[in-house]
Every structure is written in structure tokens, then in C-alpha cells.
A = this chain, B = another copy of it.
Amino acid sequence: MADEASNPGTPELVIVGSIGIDTIETPVEKQNSILGGSVSYACAAASFFTGTGMVGVVGSDFPDEYTALFHRFGIDMDGLQRVDGETFRWSGVYEEDMNSRRTLSTDLNVFADFSPELPDAYRSAEFVLLGNISPNLQLHVLDQVKQPRLVMADTMDLWINNTRDDLQKVIERVDILTLNDSEARLLTGTGNVVQAAEKILAMGPGSVIIKKGEHGAILFTGDGIVITPAYPLANVVDPTGAGDSFAGAFMGSVARDGDVDGGVLRQAMLYGSTVASFGVQAFGLERFKSLSEDDITHRGEELAGMVSCD
């Protein structure tokens, strides 16, 4: 599903994040113990575009079929640690409108002692996605990579509330910060998304992507704004991981183009939104299993047509 890395053993894109076994309940259906976690979604999404290396941790209970699935996506697993103990587990329930969810339980298990160690080959990666994990782990990855051309970091309310100093350091060192609109408001203390984006850009990163769920995402850079709506879906089955899929496909698209100019980021926004829309049409990574590059191209063109003003 991806080209070979230009340096032997070095994936074009390295992604770090959580790997979990999720139990998810929606108004329609409940699924027990399915594969989840930020790096699972992000790597699967990125794998449609570029060579992707995964950095994460699983326990001794992690099913072989999930490892086989990562392999099937062409994900490089040299950065995947397998340690004694149980894999991270999360369970949550979605409200009727599918836009908000409650966490029912979180068992960190082996993730509690996780320290992301990059294989030597990964340290030369040109593109790095710091998935949604604690800022101090994100910083530890930043300390290991050599000269990446573009680093994007995701974050969440937990880190904004509890580890803001470390998060601030991450924000100062990355090229793009991605977070959702309520998190952007929380981080900056402003209710207006444009003002929030301006405050985040003033913290250091060249760009910020504010995700708005079913309303799409907005990229703010010093040069301007790119607005990408979500692909309108009549049936959202499971929104879990949509932001991770968005980020993975975004970075995968940038890495495939190998450039970081405005046009490339604009295209990456479209692919991020497109791939995320497929992801939410089934539980977990299910929809990605049967997804083709043609599917992505076709829906991406369809979405581009919906927003075109010509």
C-alpha cells in the first residue's frame, strides 16, 4: 500500500501514539474488545499514502490478528514494543447525536510505563506525527528524531488541563499543532476559533489545524486559511479515531508528496477529511480493511466538487 522508504529501513513517516483494545457503545450497537488507539488509526490511514512506521506498546495479550492487520496495511512495526502485561483498554459510550461521548473506563496497563524508543532507522524520518499521548512522551520522541522536515502534534483536553507546561514545550517545537475546537478554546481561553488559532500560532508552530468533527477542519497558517468540510454521511457508525485518521492521512499525504508548501497542505486537508469519513462508517479499523486508493481518490474528488465555487 506504500512506496519503499528512500533510506533503507527508514519509513517516510513515523507515528507515535496509543494502541488500545476498545469497547464502544453507540445508540445502535455495541462492540467489545476491538482494535483502537491513536497510533492504530493514524498508521492505518497514513498507510494508504506512504511508508509508515509505528511507535507504540502492546501487552502480551495483544491478539496476533491485530498485528497481522497492521502488517496487511504495510505498517512497519520495528518501533512497536511488546511487553509483559495487558494492553491498554478503553471503553466509551456515544450520545444519541454521535457528537459527544462519555468514557466509561480507562485501564492504562502496559501503557502506564510506556516510553517511546525509536529504532535507529526511524530517527532519520522526514515526517513525524506525534499522536495524542502525554506531552512528555511527545518531547521524548522529539529528542530522538534528527532533522524532520515536518512534525505535527495532536493533543487533548487532558494534557491541556494537567500538563500544560510540557504541552507548551511541544507546541514550541512542532510545525503543526492539531486539536479540536473545544480544546483550542480551552488552550487559549478564547471562545472564537479564529482568535484561538492566532494565539496558538503565536506560541510557535507555523500552522494549526482546528478539527470540528462533522463540520470539518480549518488549517491556519501565517499565509492564510484552508477550510475543509467533512464529507456528508447519512450514517455515522463509530466516530472513534476520526481525528487520528484525519491526522494520519494528512501526514501520509504530505509525506507522499514530499513537500510542505501550501498546495500540498491543502491537498492533505482534503485527504485527511476523506479518509476520516471512511473510518467512521464502521467500527474500529473495519472500513479501512476494504478501502482502496481508488475509493479515496473518488471520494476526495467528490468532496472537492461539493466545495468548488466554479
Which A residues have a C-beta under 8 Å from some C-beta of B? 96-98, 191-195, 198, 212, 214-216, 218, 224-229, 232-236, 263, 266-267, 270, 303-310
| Assembled-state Cα–Cα distance A236/B98 (Å) | 28
Q: Is the CB of B193 within 8 A of A232?
A: yes
| Assembled-state Cα–Cα distance A225/B234 (Å) | 12
Q: Is the CB of A232 within 8 A of B218?
A: yes
Given contact pairs A266-B309, A309-B270, A192 touches B226 in the complex (Cβ within 8 A): no
Q: Is the CB of B236 within 8 A of A232?
A: no
Q: Is the CB of A194 within 8 A of B233?
A: yes
Chain A interface main SS type: mixed
User: For A198, what are the chain B residues with a Cβ–Cβ distance below 8 Å?
Assistant: 234
User: For A216, what are the chain B residues with a Cβ–Cβ distance below 8 Å?
Assistant: 215, 229
| Assembled-state Cα–Cα distance A308/B307 (Å) | 7
User: For A194, what are the chain B residues with a Cβ–Cβ distance below 8 Å?
Assistant: 232-234
21 contacts between A and B (CB under 8 A): A192-B233, A192-B235, A193-B214, A194-B232, A195-B234, A198-B234, A224-B306, A225-B306, A227-B232, A227-B306, A227-B307, A228-B307, A229-B229, A263-B310, A266-B308, A266-B309, A270-B309, A303-B309, A307-B308, A308-B308, A308-B309
User: For A303, what are the chain B residues with a Cβ–Cβ distance below 8 Å?
Assistant: 309
User: For A97, what are the chain B residues with a Cβ–Cβ distance below 8 Å?
Assistant: 191
CB distance from A70 to the nearest CB of B (A): 31
User: For A232, what are the chain B residues with a Cβ–Cβ distance below 8 Å?
Assistant: 193-194, 218, 225, 227
Please tell me which one of the listed residues B96, B214, B226, B267 contacts residue A306 in the complex, with CB atoms under 8 A apart: B226
User: For A309, what are the chain B residues with a Cβ–Cβ distance below 8 Å?
Assistant: 266-267, 270, 303-304, 307-308
| Assembled-state Cα–Cα distance A171/B267 (Å) | 39
| Assembled-state Cα–Cα distance A96/B234 (Å) | 32
User: For A305, what are the chain B residues with a Cβ–Cβ distance below 8 Å?
Assistant: 224
